[in-house]
Structure 1
Amino acid sequence: MMNDTSVSQSQMSLVVAAEVKDKKAEDAGKQADLENDHEGSMKRANKKGSSAESKQPKMADESSATESYRYDVVLWLFGMLFFSLLVSLMFGIGSIRGWDADSAYNHNMSNSSMERFLPEPFTPEPGVYKRSDKEASSRWYYWKLKPEDVTAGTKLFVWFSYCLHNLSVWLVLYLQHKQKSFPDVNGKYEKKYSNTPDKYNIILFGLNVFFHLLHLLNTHTTYDGTAADTSEASSQSSVIVALIIMLFIEFKDRGVVFGYPSPYQLRKYQDSVWMSPVYILRKYHGYFIYWAAIFTFWYHPMENTFGHAFGFAHTWFFMLQGSLTFTNLHLNKYWRFTLEVWVTIHSGVVAVQTVPNIMGKELWPMFVFGFAMAIILTQLYGLPFWKNIPSWTRAIPVAVYAIIVVTSYSFIRDVQGRPFTRLQEIIRIPGIYYLILLIGWLIIVAIAKLQRISAARSISSSKESINKQESKEGAPSPPPRWKEVLVLLGTVTTYAVSVFLSWIFEYIDLKVNLIVLTMIYCFSFTLISAVFGSFLLKMVIPLQRARPSSS
């Protein structure tokens, strides 16, 4: 997940230390930094002249024989094999236990469901906690224990597992990130991307496998996920924000609409503060996306339904991608495209499974065509083949999408049997996508502007102190332990606020529409991720690889 992005030195005015670097070294290295911003960076770096290389610390030597073999692909294949076995266990054990709770609408037709769960509150139940208003069913999560079956043990198991899972992968990810961001004692950097997973990749993979097996054990012992205490809208919103962060990550390669603005068109804005959200989230996105995937993962029990299986596939894909950090497969455009568009399949399956096929009530068209609109407008054009064919061909997917949508909605009727009246629903999901994208962009730009103002005012004193430090150390060094502890505490506090927000809204039974609640969570999580990347992580991991001081 850590797409280690290099940026121009002007952009690095966000960091006070970069403001006072030797101007001559900045100018010499600037073009190299800009060209080193996507997955082809390592190949282009080998073609640079020796004069440019002299400005940068040398990379650690790599075995060409090792690099020729795709061990990252092998790890990915093991990941896919593991998940296939896990899904088999989900359905196999669930079937043996007689579980058949595929939908709340079938509650009264399943003895096991009536024994395990409360019916969904389709009809308001005045005076009953969380079931008293007409919107209660939209906020009610069906797959959780009855209140009388909940104990301290059922809560402790899942919350301890969730916290341990999240903190452990964050720690390993940070250690790997730090190792890649600073030179060793010989002034050499490790190679950024490789065909060979390092020890941190293996540890991350092992941790994620272990916690998936632990969650399966949790489901068949204490059962409940964190759904017993937190809001379903928060689980959905965390994934939405993770997907929106991917829009930032891919922005420099595919723009926002139909591949525009193109990388060539963006070059003149590369030093602008308006590009800071892209640089920051490309560098630090992994921590938030890991949190979003793990938070959602522990929300749901491993029930033997297709909706749960497709959902766990998505969170596993995110965690597998997070286990492949700094490998070349992590950069693969087709794999990253799959991570983005899987939600279209998952949401469609869930909507078909959980909502009755009654005229005017089906939800699958809104989800499938809504997420597909984001694919057609934005996500599709990051695939490499678009760069090798004429730009007019981008109209073809739009035309195909329009024909399918119009034809489908001639059969998809409202409750009165009228065609086309529901056509407007397909803009709801992309509307949320692009609105949150805009809000997140503006928040990070505002923070970046404030940081630039602060840096400009303190540059003299900062220059003096940094020069003294460099004269002692001679080369960039990792952050001191006290600063790492401070960032750790800040990180835990920041994301604890996210979880607390979900818990308090669920506890007080906030009676608002599901879409409104989702927007509240999306805005809150976007703000938190912006602050996290703009302040906390930059204290310990530089936005670009630091250079040794010039002699």
Structure 2
Amino acid sequence: MGEGTDQSEHKSQSLEDAKHENGKDHTTVEGADEDNSGEMRRRLGNSKKELVESEVEEAKSLKEKDDYRYDIVLWMFGMLFFSVLIALIFGIGAERGWDALSPYHMSNNSKARFLPEPFTPEPGVYKRSDSEASGRWYYWKLKPEDTTAWTRLFVWASYCFHNLSVWLVLYLQHKAKNIPDKDGQYSPKFSNGVDRYNLIMFGLNTFFHLLHLLNTHTTYDGTAADTSIASSQSSVIVALIVMVMIEFRDRGILFGYPTPNQLRRHQNSIWMSPVYVMRKYHGYFIYWAAIYTFWYHPMENTVGHAFGFAHTWFFMLQGSLTFTKFHLNKYWRLILETWVTIHSLIIAAQTGSGVMGKELWPMFVFGFATVIFLTQLYGLTFWRDVPSWSRSIPVALYVVIVVFTYSFVKDTEGRRFTRISEIIRIPGIYYLIVLVAWLVIVAIVKIQKKKDAKTLPSPNDSNKSLNIGKKGVSQLPLWKEVVFLCFFVLTYLVCVFISWIFEYLDLKVNLIVLTMVYSFAFTLIAAIGGSFFLKPLLPMSPYIVPPMNK
């Protein structure tokens, strides 16, 4: 019995020892597991931290890339290119002995190249037979006997290829920006970057500027040989009027009124539709106006031509910067609108000094400047941060300058102040055409709205009923797209045809009257072209009104 007890105690001790050993081993395993788990957590934490840091660095890198102003770089290259071009124009012209500054003071070199302006009517002579012929005559063009089929073909082919090529690229860019993905999401429209379309348009515009320089020093003539000077002037005037309509939402029409806050309550009104239509499709008309005027004039080495080509280049450079943030820069856009004031001063001083016993520059300078101080100046953003009464300050200063200047400006009889009323002529044309264009577009939109009410599905219809294609937009058959594009181009061919036929028929009409006729005609044609032929291709959503700027 004792032995059994000893054996039992021995077994019990053995079991205790085994339990202790097992417990020790188990504790060791658990400790090891805890150490491994902690190490894994530390490694996982470090990995997550490294991943987050990597993502932050990548996001920072992308932000820096997005923040880099490629649009400003392209603009700077544009200004550099134009500076080189101007140097070439003056350098080559001087080398050839060109000095045709004015038709009023012709050198022997100029007499060999051009006909003088018909200041005195020449009965029976084509385009030179009436008292208004001088106003309609463009001085910088070849003599009729020097004009050939080749001189015409070179410039007209260049003009057509220039206009059609940039239109095509602009249209493709618009399509790319207006096509949502399958989820209905659009890419950001305006950025600091430039896309391939911007670069292609920039390249095309620079190429055709160099080609025009070659044209000037080979065949010489621009399209001025066949079209009216009034058409060139009118195309630019209407382009500037289009800009007045584009900016209406942000600066109103007079002294910054109506303000954006006042207009916001009317943003769904059909009377605001011209603003949205012009903002959507203005690029096509402004491109046409700039290119048409650009090819009208030869690259003569005069200051007046240089400032004129600067203006058309600015428009084309702005067109090459579509959908970039620099395209929206208010100060740059103000330069685009007001450059004509400087240009008109230089042209009037260069070609019209002392004409008919009076200086012509005050009418042009103060005419365009009146539009600046009534309308264009108030698009700058700082006006939103100053009291509204401060808008009267520049107007008061302008009135003082006008009165002071006209105290020295005399009419043909030597009287002072009698010509001061001439400063309302240009603003009168501006605002009258704005009104006509506004009413025309409202009328077109009303017609389309009635038609769309019968054909458009409701906004709640499914994508299937809306015929949403793979790219997330209603697709027209290719043949219809081509037909609409052809009709769109045809509307502008009508503009060119009108310019040619009026010149060909040698209409005995005053230059100012002819300019107004062209301006109204171009306005109507541009409204029709955009509203009827571009809208089906690049539709404006009937259910979404663009947001107003605060």
Residue 464 of structure 1: how far off its partner (Å): 8.3
Q: Is the 8 A contact 1:181 1:546 kept in 2?
A: no
Counterpart in 2 of 1:124?
121
Q: Determine if the alignment matches structure 1 residue 106 to structure 2 residue 105.
A: yes
Q: Is the 8 A contact 1:476 1:546 kept in 2?
A: no
Counterpart in 2 of 1:408?
405
Give the 3-state SS of the residue equivalent to 2:318 in structure 1: helix
Q: Describe the superposition over 1:236-289 as per-residue Cα deviations: whole angstroms up to 9, x where unpaired.
A: 000000000000110000000000000000111111110110000011100000
Q: Describe the superposition over 1:445-491 as per-residue Cα deviations: whole angstroms up to 9, x where unpaired.
A: 11111112222344579998985344786942454322220122111
Q: Which amino acid aligns with 1:165?
A: H
Counterpart in 1 of 2:381?
384
Q: Determine if the alignment matches structure 1 residue 89 to structure 2 residue 88.
A: yes
Counterpart in 2 of 1:395?
392
Counterpart in 1 of 2:150?
153
Give the 3-state SS of the residue equivalent to 1:269 in structure 2: coil
Counterpart in 2 of 1:68?
67
Q: Determine if the alignment matches structure 1 residue 212 to structure 2 residue 209.
A: yes
Counterpart in 1 of 2:222?
225
Q: Is the 8 A contact 1:360 1:417 kept in 2?
A: no
Q: Describe the superposition over 1:334-377 as per-residue Cα deviations: whole angstroms up to 9, x where unpaired.
A: 00000000000001100000013368421100000000000000
Q: Is the 8 A contact 2:140 2:298 kept in 1?
A: yes
Q: Which amino acid aligns with 1:418?
A: R
Instruction: Tell me the distance in 1 between the aligned counterparts of 2:522 and 2:292.
Output: 12
Q: Describe the superposition over 1:357-408 as per-residue Cα deviations: whole angstroms up to 9, x where unpaired.
A: 3684211000000000000000000001111111111111111111111011
Q: Determine if the alignment matches structure 1 residue 250 to structure 2 residue 247.
A: yes
Equivalent of 2:309, from 280, 289, 312?
312
Equivalent of 1:357, from 354, 359, 368?
354
Distance 1:444 1:199, change over 3 A: same
Instruction: Tell me the distance in 2 between the aligned counterparts of 1:472 and 1:100.
Output: 60
Instruction: Tell me the distance in 1 between the aligned counterparts of 2:220 and 2:181.
Output: 47
Give the 3-state SS of the residue equivalent to 1:533 in structure 2: helix
Percent sequence identity over aligned pairs: 69
Instruction: Tell me the distance in 1 between the aligned counterparts of 2:353 and 2:186.
Output: 57
Instruction: Tell me the distance in 1 between the aligned counterparts of 2:93 and 2:455.
Output: 62
Counterpart in 2 of 1:532?
529
Q: Describe the superposition over 1:37-70 as per-residue Cα deviations: whole angstroms up to 9, x where unpaired.
A: xxxxxxxxxxxxxxxxxxxxxxxxx932221110
Distance 1:179 1:237, change over 3 A: same
Give the 3-state SS of the residue equivalent to 1:104 in structure 2: coil
Residue 492 of structure 1: how far off its partner (Å): 1.5
Q: Is the 8 A contact 1:294 1:315 kept in 2?
A: yes
Identify unmatched segments of 5+ residues in structure 1.
Answer: 1-61
Counterpart in 2 of 1:369?
366
Distance 1:166 1:505, change over 3 A: same
Q: Describe the superposition over 1:154-187 as per-residue Cα deviations: whole angstroms up to 9, x where unpaired.
A: 0000000000000000000000000000124565
Instruction: Tell me the distance in 2 between the aligned counterparts of 1:87 and 1:185.
Output: 48
Q: 5 Å matches for 1:162-311?
A: 162-184=159-181, 187-311=184-308
Q: Which amino acid aligns with 1:96?
A: E
Counterpart in 2 of 1:441?
438
Counterpart in 2 of 1:428?
425
Instruction: Tell me the distance in 2 between the aligned counterparts of 1:65 and 1:469.
Output: 40
Instruction: Tell me the distance in 2 between the aligned counterparts of 1:233 and 1:209.
Output: 26
TM-score (norm 2): 0.85
Q: Determine if the alignment matches structure 1 residue 77 to structure 2 residue 76.
A: yes
Distance 1:151 1:168, change over 3 A: same
Q: Which amino acid aligns with 1:488?
A: L
Q: Describe the superposition over 1:406-434 as per-residue Cα deviations: whole angstroms up to 9, x where unpaired.
A: 01101000011100000111000000000
Q: Determine if the alignment matches structure 1 residue 487 to structure 2 residue 500.
A: no
Instruction: Tell me the distance in 2 between the aligned counterparts of 1:472 and 1:493.
Output: 29
Q: Which amino acid aligns with 1:77?
A: M
Residue 541 of structure 1: how far off its partner (Å): 0.6
Q: Describe the superposition over 1:311-337 as per-residue Cα deviations: whole angstroms up to 9, x where unpaired.
A: 000000000000000000000000000
Give the 3-state SS of the residue equivalent to 2:80 in structure 1: helix
Instruction: Tell me the distance in 2 between the aligned counterparts of 1:186 and 1:328.
Output: 26
Counterpart in 1 of 2:500?
503
Give the 3-state SS of the residue equivalent to 1:106 in structure 2: coil
Higher relative contact order structure (alpha carbons within 8 Å, sequence separation ≥ 6): 1
Instruction: Tell me the distance in 2 between the aligned counterparts of 1:546 and 1:67.
Output: 31
Q: Which amino acid aligns with 1:203?
A: I
Residue 191 of structure 1: how far off its partner (Å): 1.5
Q: Is the 8 A contact 2:114 2:139 kept in 1?
A: yes
Q: 5 Å matches for 1:28-43?
A: none
Identify unmatched segments of 5+ residues in structure 2.
Answer: 1-60, 545-550
- Answer with 1 or 2: which has the greater Rg: 2
Q: Is the 8 A contact 2:344 2:364 kept in 1?
A: yes
Instruction: Tell me the distance in 2 between the aligned counterparts of 1:112 and 1:255.
Output: 50
Q: Which amino acid aligns with 1:515?
A: I
Q: Is the 8 A contact 1:153 1:222 kept in 2?
A: yes
Q: Which amino acid aligns with 1:300?
A: H
Instruction: Tell me the distance in 1 between the aligned counterparts of 2:197 and 2:457.
Output: 39
Distance 1:359 1:131, change over 3 A: closer
